[in-house]
Amino acid sequence: MNDLLRRPLTEVTALLERRELSPVELMQATLDRIDAVNGKLNAFVAMRDREQLLADARSAETRIQRGEARPLEGVPLGVKDLEDAAGLVTSHGSLVYKDNLVTRDSLQVERHPSSAPPRSRRTCCFQKRATRGISSARPADRAGVHRPQSRVR
């Protein structure tokens, strides 16, 4: 594994800000690692086009060089397959939703610091991480679930 991918986020963002690390290099290392292990792990169930991801990384690099970087600029981000990310399928880990191609971002993806508009300039969400079974990201969806309290004797 590329040593770069083992570094803490604070160190990676500092390297990006100081221009000692390129967002393109970071994205390529991330994509290479996914290629190497995802066949066994099946951790990523949906991903944006590779060339578009690298183009977004080049755009992030340009913004960093101009001093226009947003928080977490150039850091690849994946979200669970419970969050909607426009242009990616949100399956909730279920075959029932395997074709659920969403057109809007969930509030969490939309509010991520690197997702600032215009959308074409964002580098936020590039992948959807696997989840088991049908899950819900919204507590309100689980409000009616019966959860008996344990009895203390």
Sheet with 44-47, strands from edge to edge, namely 44-47, 125-129, 77-80
Share of the chain above pLDDT 90, in %: 44
Q: Which two tokens stand for residue 11?
A: 């160190």
- What contacts 77, CB < 8 A, 6 or more positions away? 112, 114, 123, 124, 125, 126, 127
Q: Which tens digits make up the pLDDT trace of 80-137?
A: 888 898 889 999 888 899 999 999 988 888 877 666 554 444 444 567 778 777 765 5
- Per-residue confidence (pLDDT) for residue 149, from 0 to 100: 42
In this prediction the pTM is 0.77
The whole-number pLDDT of residue 9 equals 94
Coil, helix or strand at residue 48: coil
Report the candidate in 46, 69, 67 with the shortest Cα–Cα distance to residue 123: 69
